[in-house]
Amino acid sequence: MQNTMMNFPLTLTHLLKRAGQLFGGSEIVSRLPDKSLHRYTYRDFQRRASALAGALQQLGIKKGERVATLMWNHYAHLETYFAAPCAGSVLHTLNLRLHPDDIAFIVNHAQDRFLIVDDVLLPLYEKFKAQTKFEHVIAVPLTKQPVAAGYDDYEKLLANAPAFDPPPLNENDACGMCYTSGTTGKPKGVVYSHRSTVLHALATSTVDYMGIGNRDTLCPVVPMFHVNAWGLPYSAAMMGAKIAFPGPHLDAVNLLDLMVAENVTVSAGVPTIWMGVLQAVEKEPARWKLAPGLRMVCGGAAAPEALIRAMDRYGMRVIHGWGMTELSPLGALNFIKRELTDLTRDEEYAVRAKQGVAPPFVELRTMAESGEAPWDGVAMGELQVRGPWVAAGYHELPSESDQWTADGWFRTGDIAIMDEHGYMKIADRIKDLVKSGGEWISSVDLENALMAHPAVAEAAVIAVPHPRWDERPVAVVVLKPGANATPDALRDHLEPKFAKFWLPDDYKFVDAIPKTSTGKMLKATLRSQYAKLFIS
């Protein structure tokens, strides 16, 4: 039997039209490089994004061609988020924290045709310009200075744009692309479709997930060049939520000031951002009056339980989630299921520190290499995933096809434990696990326990080659300003919580832990730094 439903395409064109028609009065606020605030409404946004789409068409962009961006989080980036896909082209957000040579490599690999760049980032563009050949480079005059010769002026393009004639789009057409941040390997390009992006926005906006509603004010701290700021700009526009973009000002004090001034109710970022925010409020507890019930979605790396507990004390609810560039990014988010409402406080925190429950249409499974439970009798294995917003391949990299199983699941490269309630907990990345005497040790568990010590600001646990045990864990620790702790004190702190062979063999105190361009601990660098600790 044939169904009688309309085959209405799931495209961003609908979301753009809807944002202007239904939410014209909602505000979009952006902190500019000079710290002043740019304000306008969804009505202006829809008009300008449509003008940009018309301008891109007039400049000759064709279906499926890439429009790259080199921009901070602000209104013009949001306009491009919709204009490029609605014009039929593909939004490709470039990570401005990468080395210029790496940006050039990615631009060429993606075959980007146009570039839209913040005027304040033109000096960065100049560093890789010679290695690339964009046909048009469009500069956004955020500083209100005249755009330098040789570049198209974003504002002039918009002012002179022809009426936008939306091209017919299929929901499976490409709409965006992002490269993985390359924490453990070379960056790989993932291409999203209108359909995958729309479904991701719908699922992530449900109440138990990010629950972005019309009455929310969203502050996306996660950069718009990192997995589309976790898809949040699309979710916010879909619901007409107010947005407060932080621009380039991502330090704790500026973020807190913005959150108070704009009455932010939901935000999202990596743990290091929230650790900075926590330190700032601990230092001046009375300074910021945040919105009651403020939610901070936290992912990209494990959120330590100590962080979740401490943020609660200041009225900030950390919501742990897990994702990947290949997953658009949401693969799991934490909420307390009704069957768990009788938990003690400590039990509830232990659940909240897990990465969470898969959203509708995402399926997770853990596959143990040997089929045996490697430790503590808990079944654990490589996390595999499938769903409509999970990548089925990489852009022009057929050689990477072994990241998918023969039965069509994506191999995440993470090791996870699934509990009986369906909560997924990441134990480690496969490449970061410590293998000692044939047994596995979770670096993430040790790090989280170390970060619960009052003197510890941050900790990384790495595998160091060992002549007898193959590998042994070593903790690299950053102490809080003015705090003291000896290796013995840290060992005493860990001892009651772990099997003896889990305890790190050494503790190294450092000023800072090296981080990737997206704020994750660079364990590969630490591993090579301490590679000779036990073997000379």
Does position 518 bind ligand ADP by CB under 6 A?
yes
Q: Which is nearer to ligand ADP, 54 or 323 (CB)?
A: 323
Q: Dihedral of CA 337/343/347/352: which sign? A: positive
Q: Which is nearer to ligand ADP, 343 or 524 (CB)?
A: 524
Does position 322 bind ligand ADP by CB under 6 A?
yes
CB of 270 to ligand ADP, least distance (A): 8
Binding mask of the shown chain, residues 59 to 98, with x at each position contacting ligand ADP by CB under 6 A = ----------------------------------------
Beta strands in 235-280, from DSSP E residues, in sequence order: 242-245, 266-269
CB of 443 to ligand ADP, least distance (A): 11
* DSSP at 245: E
CB of 149 to ligand ADP, least distance (A): 37
H/E run at residue 159: helix 154-159
Query: Two tokens at 484?
Result: 């003291």
Does position 381 bind ligand ADP by CB under 6 A?
no
Contact of 163 with 54, CB cutoff 8 Å: yes
Query: What SS3 class is residue 67?
Result: strand
Contact of 518 with 226, CB cutoff 8 Å: yes
**Residue span binding ligand ADP (CB under 6 A) among the ranges 169-177, 317-325, 433-441, 447-455:** 317-325
Q: Which is nearer to ligand ADP, 244 or 319 (CB)?
A: 319
Question: Who contacts 305 (Cβ-Cβ below 8 Å, separation ≥6)?
Answer: 349, 350, 352, 353, 448, 452
For the chain, helix, strand, coil in percent to 5 are 35, 25, 40
Q: Please tell me the distance from the alpha carbon of residue 490 to that of residue 452, in angstroms, as a whole number.
A: 10
Which positions from 153 through 182 interact with ligand ADP, judged by CB under 6 A?
A: 180-182
Q: Please tell me the distance from the alpha carbon of residue 34 to that of residue 521, in angstroms, as a whole number.
A: 30
Q: Which is nearer to ligand ADP, 246 or 300 (CB)?
A: 300
Interface residue with ligand ADP among 31, 113, 295, 429 (CB under 6 A) is 429
Does position 113 bind ligand ADP by CB under 6 A?
no
Contact of 472 with 435, CB cutoff 8 Å: no
Query: Two tokens at 336?
Result: 């307390």
Does position 426 bind ligand ADP by CB under 6 A?
yes
Q: Which is nearer to ligand ADP, 180 or 228 (CB)?
A: 180
CB of 425 to ligand ADP, least distance (A): 9
CB of 300 to ligand ADP, least distance (A): 5
**Residue span binding ligand ADP (CB under 6 A) among the ranges 53-61, 127-135, 314-322, 468-476:** 314-322
Which positions from 338 through 367 interact with ligand ADP, judged by CB under 6 A?
A: 355
CB of 533 to ligand ADP, least distance (A): 25
Question: Who contacts 151 (Cβ-Cβ below 8 Å, separation ≥6)?
Answer: 117, 122, 137, 138, 139
Q: Which is nearer to ligand ADP, 235 or 384 (CB)?
A: 384
Q: Would you please indicate which residues are annotated as catalytic (active-site) residues? A: 180, 326, 435, 440
Q: Which is nearer to ligand ADP, 113 or 320 (CB)?
A: 320
Query: Two tokens at 252?
Result: 């704790």
* DSSP at 372: S
Query: What SS3 class is residue 473?
Result: strand
Q: Please tell me the distance from the alpha carbon of residue 53 to that of residue 268, in angstroms, as a whole number.
A: 28
Does position 302 bind ligand ADP by CB under 6 A?
yes
Does position 425 bind ligand ADP by CB under 6 A?
no
Query: Two tokens at 27?
Result: 């505000």
Query: Two tokens at 319?
Result: 């919501």
- The residues of the shown chain that bind ligand ADP, judged by CB under 6 A, are 180-184, 299-302, 320-325, 355, 412-414, 426, 429, 518, 520
